[in-house]
């Protein structure tokens, strides 16, 4: 949940986590009756700080967006075609936030000196601490904060080339030296304050500096393609590995260094969507689409996000725009969106058309994998397995293909083989929530409800509002005899999620376990109408024994 409004025509989003953390911080040194004033002062001060950044983004011709989250805030801006942000402009933008706070803090401090009676006033004390203290701490040369951006810009100017990584190394060395000096001279309190800020900042922006490699996204993945060097490549690689929070952190770090690029915004939005933080994800995708209305990845992501939010008309509009793009340019995004919308027959036709147009073997393999996914969704499990087995010899170690193969084998009742496949996939991506979910499904379907609980619970921790993840956890609870837990998992879903076929399937299982056979049959029929594959699965699912002939 977040608060959204516009301030001087700048979109502002205040997250619930920001308000909660600031409330906790205020409770540490303010009495309960002083907390309302503290919350107003700290929110206004941090917002003014970020508006300092937004002012210079606007002066340089970019559209800023302010977000307060966690222990602070961030100001981002969409790039303008043909406009390049120079290292000097990055420095000016970074300096403008702390400078705004220092000016306000200086004015308050001057007023306090001129009128000593107000020095002990709670509002004055809070303003001084937040305006001056927050601004000075933000000038520390840490990655992801203003001081880090300043050092990175200076390093790039000195070396005459982009040098964000070198800037971060220099910045961390400077912070380490400051901490060492504080300890040596006995200023332990300030060493603790700065050390605490360092830990919080590194936790928010991620402890990684970059990475390399490539990976393809599997079912439920971001579909972001190959990973490269640096924070942007790290975010892409982490998305493919299913490490969504780390991917989000890496993308935020890249946004701090490159505020005018769209790629980190897309990576952050993908991570938020995959963590089921749909409202925040929509904000990111919409920012990209304001500048590039035909961006296929943003259209795909926002369409799927809006569908999860139950805003079907808007989701369909984005899907139509996406499908109107040339197939040779946007086929993977189009296929991914159709699969997410349960439009499997349309997806089969799209893939058939795209396969006749592509020439590159790798692109053909990706499209054939989608063909297998659509066959699987339609309940044509043997056909799906043949299609997938035709692709796998070229990339036998692709964990995403092995996970899809495990799902197909589950519906064929070949549970031992399915478990072998998903374990091989998890060996490559041990934290991937979709893979953990598939392991839970295979384990449950093989009759081991107790063994299924842990992977299903781990899967839902990453994406607590995802209707499929909730449904699979509920099914595990039903098979384990925990009907109350199953009801809780399903009843706390928003109303629009009840139309999801996997939710209908889980509700059918709950009705069957509760002795409501007619309701179970009706719900199951609805589930397999939307997703024929679920009708195939119900035929071998222990939860529907005696109900499905």
Q: Which of 65-69, 106-110, 253-257, 278-282 has the lowest mean pLDDT?
A: 253-257
Residue 227's pLDDT is 31
> According to the 3-state scheme, what is the secondary structure of 186-254?
CCHHHHHHHHHHHHHHHHHHCCCCCCCCCCCCCCCCCCCCCCCCHHHHHHHHHHHCCCHHHHHHHHHHH
Residue indicated by tokens 């803090």: 105
The rounded distance, in Å, linking the Cα atoms of 198 and 175 is: 9
Secondary structure (DSSP) of 390-459: HHGGGSTT-HHHHHHHHHHHHHTT-HHHHHHHHHHHHHH-TT-HHHHHHHHHHHHHTT-HHHHHHHHHHH
Q: 244 vs 86, which has greater pLDDT? A: 244
Is residue 459 within 8 Å of 436, Cβ to Cβ? yes
Structure tokens at 133: 């203290």
Helices 278-291 and 263-274, interaxial angle, to 10°?
A: 150
Q: Which residues, 6+ apart, have CB-to-CB distance to 360 below 8 Å?
A: none
Contact 503, 497 (CB under 8 A): yes
How high does pLDDT run on average in the chain? 82
Residue range 423-442, pLDDT digits in tens: 999 998 988 999 999 999 99
Select the highest-mean-pLDDT range: 128-137, 152-161, 324-333, 334-343. Answer: 334-343
pLDDT at 71: 63
pLDDT category, 20, cuts 50, 70, 90? confident
pLDDT over 80 (residue 151):
no
CB 505 within 8 A of CB 534: yes
Encode pLDDT of 193-250 as tens digits: 777 777 766 655 544 443 333 333 344 444 433 333 344 567 888 898 898 988 888 8
pLDDT in tens, 509-537: 999 999 999 999 999 999 999 999 999 99
Tell how many helices (H) and how many strands (E) occur in the chain: 27, 4
3-state helix, strand, coil in the chain (%, to 5): 70, 5, 25
Q: Which of 378, 340, 371, 381 is nearest to 223 (CA)?
A: 340
* Distances in whole angstroms, Cα of residue 395 to Cα of each of 264, 369, 391: 28, 11, 7
What is the average pLDDT across 100-125? 76
Portion of the chain with pLDDT greater than 90, in percent: 39
Handedness of CA 270, 271, 273, 278 (dihedral sign): negative
Q: For residue 222, give every residue at least 6 positions away whose Cβ sits within 8 Å of its Cβ, in sequence order, or none.
A: 236, 239, 240, 267, 270, 271, 274
pLDDT band at residue 254 under the 50/70/90 scheme? confident
- pLDDT score at 347: 93
Give percent above pLDDT 70 in the chain.
85
What pLDDT is stored for residue 297 in this prediction?
94
Cβ contacts of 145 within 8 Å, gap of 6 or more? 72, 138, 201, 256
pTM here? 0.65
What's the whole-number mean pLDDT along residues 355-367?
Answer: 80
- Average pLDDT estimate for 367-386: 93
**Low-confidence winner among 35-44, 53-62, 194-203 (lowest mean pLDDT):** 194-203
Q: Give CA–CA dist 275/260, Å, rounded.
A: 25
Q: Return the DSSP state at 78.
A: E
Q: For residue 10, list its beta bridge partners.
A: 7
pLDDT at 46 over 60: yes
Confirm if 267 and 274 have CB atoms less than 8 A apart: no
Which residue, 228, 299, 221, 213, is CA-closest to 264? Answer: 228
pLDDT at 187: 82
On whether the CB atoms of residues 70 and 203 are closer than 8 A, the answer is no
pLDDT of 107: 85
Q: Residue length, the chain?
A: 549
E strand or H helix at 528, and its extent? Answer: helix 517-530
Beta strands in 70-141 (DSSP E): 72-78
Q: Tens of pLDDT along 153-170?
A: 777 677 665 555 566 677
Q: Are 385 and 405 in contact (CB under 8 A)?
A: yes
Tokens of 295: 């961006």
Q: What mean pLDDT comes out for the span 91-112?
A: 84
pLDDT at position 226: 31
Other CB atoms within a 10 A radius of the CB of residue 160 amount to 8
Q: Taking the C-alpha atoms of 28, 32, 36 and 40 in order, what is their torsion angle to the nearest 10 degrees?
A: -10
Distance CA 281, CA 247 (A): 14
- C-alpha to C-alpha distance for 276 and 467, rounded to whole angstroms: 9
Burial 194-211 (b: 16+ CB within 10 A, else e): beebbeebbebbbebbbb
**Mean pLDDT, range 487-493, rounded to an integer:** 89
Strand partners, 15: 2
pLDDT at 295: 93
pLDDT at 131: 78
Query: Whole-angstrom distance between the N-terminal and C-terminal Cα of the chain?
Result: 45
Residue 253, token pair as written in the block: 């770090």
Gap between the Cα atoms of 538 and 501, Å rounded? 13
Mean pLDDT of 258-264: 76
Give the long-range contacts of residues 526-533, CB within 8 A, separation 24 or more: 526/501, 527/501, 527/502, 528/379, 528/501, 530/342, 530/501, 530/504, 531/342, 531/377, 531/501, 531/502, 531/505, 532/344, 532/377, 532/378, 532/379, 533/376, 533/377, 533/378, 533/379, 533/381, 533/411
């Amino acid at each position: 949940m977040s608060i959204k409004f516009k301030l001087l025509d700048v979109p502002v989003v205040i997250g619930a986590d920001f308000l909660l953390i600031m409330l906790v911080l205020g409770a540490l040194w303010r009495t309960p009756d002083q907390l309302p004033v503290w919350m107003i002062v700290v929110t206004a001060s941090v917002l003014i700080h970020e508006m300092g950044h937004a002012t210079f983004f606007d002066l340089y011709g970019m559209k800023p967006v302010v977000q307060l989250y966690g222990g602070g805030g961030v100001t981002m801006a969409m790039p303008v075609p043909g406009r390049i942000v120079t290292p000097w402009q990055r420095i000016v933008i970074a300096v403008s936030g702390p400078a705004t706070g220092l000016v306000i803090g200086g004015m308050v401090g001057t007023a306090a000196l001129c009128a000593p009676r107000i020095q002990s006033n709670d509002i004055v004390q809070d303003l001084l601490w937040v305006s001056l203290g927050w601004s000075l701490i933000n000038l520390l040369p840490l990655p992801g904060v203003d001081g880090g951006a300043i050092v990175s810009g200076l390093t790039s100017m000195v070396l005459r080339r982009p040098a964000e990584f070198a800037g971060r190394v220099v910045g961390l060395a400077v912070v380490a030296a400051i901490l060492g000096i504080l300890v040596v001279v006995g200023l332990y309190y300030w060493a603790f304050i700065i050390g605490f800020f360092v830990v919080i900042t590194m936790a928010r922006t991620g402890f990684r500096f970059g990475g390399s490699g490539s990976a393809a996204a599997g079912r439920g993945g971001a579909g972001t393609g190959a990973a490269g060097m640096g924070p942007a490549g790290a975010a892409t690689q982490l998305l493919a590995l299913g490490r969504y929070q780390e991917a989000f952190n890496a993308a935020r770090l890249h946004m701090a260094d490159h505020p005018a690029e769209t790629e980190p915004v897309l990576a952050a939005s993908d991570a938020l969507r995959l963590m089921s933080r749909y409202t925040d994800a929509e904000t990111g995708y919409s920012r990209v689409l304001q500048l590039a209305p035909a961006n296929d990845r943003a259209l795909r992501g926002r369409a799927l996000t809006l569908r999860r939010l139950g805003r079907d008309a808007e989701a369909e509009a984005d899907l139509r725009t996406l499908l109107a793009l040339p197939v040779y340019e946007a086929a993977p995004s189009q296929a991914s969106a159709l699969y997410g919308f349960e439009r499997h027959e349309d997806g089969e036709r799209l893939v058939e058309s795209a396969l006749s147009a592509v020439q590159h073997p790798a692109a053909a393999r990706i499209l054939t994998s989608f063909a297998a996914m659509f066959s699987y969704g339609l309940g044509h499990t043997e056909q799906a397995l043949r299609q997938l087995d035709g692709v796998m010899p070229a990339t036998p170690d692709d964990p995403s293909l092995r996970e899809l193969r495990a799902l197909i084998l589950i519906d064929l009742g070949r549970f031992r083989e399915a478990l072998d496949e998903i374990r091989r996939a998890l060996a490559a991506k041990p934290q991937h929530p979709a893979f953990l979910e598939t392991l839970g499904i295979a384990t449950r379907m093989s009759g081991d409800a107790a063994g299924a609980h842990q992977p299903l619970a781990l899967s839902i921790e990453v994406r607590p509002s995802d209707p499929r993840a909730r449904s699979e956890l509920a099914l595990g609870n039903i098979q384990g005899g925990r009907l109350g837990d199953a009801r809780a998992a399903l009843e706390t879903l928003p109303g629009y999620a009840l139309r999801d076929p996997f939710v209908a399937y889980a509700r059918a299982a709950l009705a069957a376990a509760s002795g409501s056979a007619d309701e179970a049959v009706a719900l199951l029929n609805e589930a397999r109408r939307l997703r024929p594959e679920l009708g195939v699965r119900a035929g071998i699912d222990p939860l529907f024994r005696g109900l499905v002939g």
